[in-house]
Structure 1
Amino acid sequence: MSDQGRLLTVAEVASIMRIRKSSVYRLVHSGHLPAIRVGRAFRVPEQAVHDFLQGSLRNVS
């Protein structure tokens, strides 16, 4: 997993993106934000969060 960077919890992603945890879950379940299921929890690669935000910036412009 070293090429992907570290894995973030849903709470950490929500904090970075400044949205609610339920919104992060919605992004994960819809496939817009890739995640790995670990037991009953999700972990999101840090790079995936940055890629998602970069893609969102391009879509707004």
Structure 2
Amino acid sequence: MGCACMSVDDACRYIGLKRTKMYQMIKNGEVRAIKLGRRTLVTTASLNDLVLCGEAL
């Protein structure tokens, strides 16, 4: 089983986006993320859904 969440930097490398765009997508609800303390973690499932559905830029 893979990771359930990853850091914003790892998520950017995973789908090839810049941090600013990733934070915009989180804010717009296109990618699901959770806050743990000061850290923002992106759900791997939401990234996979984004890529598989062809909704990526």
Root mean square deviation, CA, Å: 2.2
The structure whose residues are more often helix, as a share, is: 1
Q: How many residues align?
A: 56
Normalised TM-score (structure 1): 0.76
Normalised TM-score (structure 2): 0.80
The runs of 5 or more residues in structure 1 that have no matched partner are none
Deviation beyond 3 Å, 4+ runs, structure 1? none
Give the aligned partner of residue 45 of structure 1: 43
Structure with higher Rg: it is: 1
The one-letter amino acid of 1:18's match is: G
Superposed CA deviations along residues 17-40 of structure 1, whole A, max 9, x for unmatched, are 111011111100111101111112
Output aligned runs, 1:6-17, within 5 Å. 6-17=4-15
Identity %: 16
The runs of 5 or more residues in structure 2 that have no matched partner are none
